[in-house]
Amino acid sequence: MQFKLKFAFTLVLVMTAQAVAAGEKVIYLQMGEFPSVERIQNKERAQLEKTLKELPENVQKWAAYKNARISYVVEQHWVGLIEENPCASSPIRVELIAGKLISAKYAVNAGKCKKGQTVSKSIIKKYNLLLRPEEFFSRAGDAKSQLACYSNKAENCMPASLSVTYDEKYGIPRIMNDGSDLTYDYAWSLEVADFNIVE
């Protein structure tokens, strides 16, 4: 935490110097105007509790449709990847029947990966790409271990608070965001669009 505070302080000094050099007006805020660590932790803890509370109901909703033929475009993004790869963060069109992955192809051109090209198993494994609804729900379940990180007894864990927006009818996760206001070098998101189902 001390490192983060020093980093933030240094960043403020650099930005202030740049503003002064450019002749811009600098407005200083009192530290009390910024949310405290405790307030951030309480907010993120509440979000995790909400994510876990809503999970069972939506898993049950999806159970009624999981054997259908479905298709959608899924897109995932990260902050903190050691190696950036457009092929990993490109939108992917997915088709499934009864939960079995039939195809996963790029929906647009992305670097060396071309629209309509099948996503390689090596890319899926290396970047842990989530493609199936069951994987989305499993990721939502990680909120339980994240919640433990906000307890007073937790050690050697990185704070992150997963939020999930579910499809109102089908229960499938449509938007997932993971990260923390206490962690500036990590964030992850997933969005499901163009959702189609043959019931």
pLDDT in tens, 71-112: 999 999 988 765 678 888 999 999 999 999 999 999 999 888
Residue 141 has pLDDT above 70, yes or no: yes
Question: At residue 84, what is the residue type?
Answer: E
Position 128 confidence tier, pLDDT thresholds 50, 70, 90: very high
For residues 17 and 36, which has the higher predicted lDDT (pLDDT)?
36
Residue 189 has pLDDT above 90, yes or no: yes
- Helical H segments across the chain, by residue range: 2-21, 37-63, 86-89, 121-126, 133-141, 143-148
pLDDT digits (tens, 9 = 90+) for 45-78: 999 999 999 999 999 999 999 999 999 999 999 8
pLDDT digits (tens, 9 = 90+) for 150-184: 876 667 777 889 999 999 999 999 999 999 888 87
Strand ranges across the sheet with 69-79? 100-106, 92-97, 69-79, 183-198, 173-180, 163-166
How many alpha carbons fall within 13 Å on the CB side of residue 105? 10
Contact 69, 96 (CB under 8 A): yes
Position 148 confidence tier, pLDDT thresholds 50, 70, 90: confident
Diameter of the chain measured on Cα atoms:
63
DSSP one-letter string for 48-64: HHHHHHHHHHHHHHHHT
Mean confidence (pLDDT) of the chain: 83
The confidence score (pLDDT) of residue 185 equals 81
The confidence score (pLDDT) of residue 25 equals 53
For residues 117 and 152, which has the higher predicted lDDT (pLDDT)?
117
Pairing between β-strand 163-166 and β-strand 69-79 as defined by DSSP bridges: unpaired
Cα–Cα distance, 199 to 197 (Å, whole number):
6
CA distances from 134 to 88, 139, 144, 153 (A): 20, 9, 17, 31
Q: Lowest-pLDDT range, 20-24, 53-57, 119-123, 133-137? A: 20-24
Reduce the DSSP state of residue 1 to 3 states and report it: coil
Cα–Cα distance, 186 to 24 (Å, whole number):
31
Tell me the average pLDDT across 101-128. Answer: 93
Report the first-to-last Cα separation within the chain, whole angstroms: 51
- Model confidence, pTM: 0.78
Kindly state the tokens that stand for 163.
Answer: 């939020």
